[in-house]
Amino acid sequence: MHLSRRGLLFGSAGAAAVSLAGCGAGEETAQLTGFTGIAMPTDTSERWVIEGKSLEDNLKKLGYDVIHQNAKDDIDTQIKQIQSMVDEGVEFLIIAAIDNKSLGAVLAEAKNQGVTVISYDRLILETPDVDYYASFDNYQVGVLQATHIIDRLQLNEQSGPFNIELFSGDPGDNNSQYFFMGGLDTLESYIYEGKLVILSGETEQSPTSTKAWSGDVAFERMEGLLKDFYEDEDLHAVLSPYDGISRGVVEALVDNGYEPGEDDFPIVTGQDAEAQSLKAIKEGTGQTETVFKDTRQLASTVTEMVEAIVNGGDPEINDRGTYDNGFKFVPSLLLEPVDVTAENYQEVVVDSGYLTEDQIDAGQA
Ligand code: BGC
Query: pLDDT at position 1, please?
Result: 34
| Model confidence pLDDT, tens digit, residues 284-306 | 999 999 999 999 999 999 999 99
Q: Which of 273, 272, 293, 271 is nearest to 282 (CA)?
A: 273
Decide whether any atom of ligand 1 lies within 6 Å of the 179 Cβ. no
Q: Distances from the Cα of 354 to the Cαs of 6, 145, 336, in angstroms?
A: 39, 21, 16
Stated pTM of the model: 0.89
Position in ligand 1 atom list of the atom nearest CA 241 = 10
Using DSSP's 3-state secondary structure scheme, residue 49 falls into helix
Alpha-carbon distance 52 to 59, whole Å? 11
Position in ligand 1 atom list of the atom nearest CA 42 = 12
Q: What is the CA radius of gyration of the chain?
A: 22
Query: pLDDT at position 44, please?
Result: 87
Decide whether any atom of ligand 1 lies within 6 Å of the 345 Cβ. no
Position in ligand 1 atom list of the atom nearest CA 242 = 10
The CATH superfamily of 36-130+294-335 is: Response regulator (3.40.50.2300)
Alpha-carbon distance 260 to 262, whole Å? 6
* Residue 309: burial class (beta carbons within 10 Å; 0-12, 13-18, 19+): buried
- Please list the residues that pair with 155 across neighbouring strands: none
Alpha-carbon distance 88 to 98, whole Å? 22
What is the mean pLDDT, run by run of 10 residues, along the chain of 365 residues? 34 42 46 97 90 96 98 97 98 97 97 97 97 96 98 96 98 94 97 97 97 97 98 97 98 97 95 97 97 95 97 95 94 97 98 96 93
C-alpha 158, offset from chain centre: 34
Cis-peptide, bond into residue 161, ω within 30° of zero: yes
Contact criterion met (CB below 8 Å) for 41 and 97: yes
The pLDDT > 70 percentage for the chain reads 92
For the chain, give every domain's residue range: 36-130+294-335, 138-292+341-362
Q: Which of 211, 262, 253, 202 is nearest to 230 (CA)?
A: 253
Contact criterion met (CB below 8 Å) for 226 and 235: yes
Query: pLDDT at position 209, please?
Result: 98
Amino acid at the residue 123: L
| CA-based torsion, 296, 107, 180, 216: positive or negative | positive
Decide whether any atom of ligand 1 lies within 6 Å of the 136 Cβ. no
Decide whether any atom of ligand 1 lies within 6 Å of the 122 Cβ. yes
Alpha-carbon distance 147 to 49, whole Å? 29
Helix axes 243-255, 215-229, angle to 10 degrees: 40
| Model confidence pLDDT, tens digit, residues 64-110 | 999 999 999 999 999 999 999 999 999 999 999 999 999 999 999 99
Residue nearest to atom 10 of ligand 1 (CA): 242
Q: Distances from the Cα of 255 to the Cαs of 11, 15, 252, in angstroms?
A: 59, 57, 5
Q: Which helix (H) or strand (E) holds 50?
A: helix 46-61
Query: pLDDT at position 25, please?
Result: 45
Query: pLDDT at position 45, please?
Result: 84
Q: Which CATH number fits domain 138-292+341-362: 3.10.450.40, 3.40.30.10, 3.40.50.2300, 3.30.70.1350?
A: 3.40.50.2300
- Listed in sequence order, the DSSP H helices in 100-214 are 104-112, 138-152, 174-193, 205-208
Alpha-carbon distance 146 to 187, whole Å? 6
Position in ligand 1 atom list of the atom nearest CA 295 = 9
Q: How far is the CA of 240 from the centre of ligand 1 (A)?
A: 12
Decide whether any atom of ligand 1 lies within 6 Å of the 129 Cβ. no
Question: Which of 145, 174, 271, 274 for a ligand 1 pocket mutation test, highest count of atoms within 8 Å of Cβ?
Answer: 271
Query: pLDDT at position 307, please?
Result: 98
Residue 133 φ/ψ, nearest 5 degrees? -130, 130
* Residue 69: burial class (beta carbons within 10 Å; 0-12, 13-18, 19+): middle
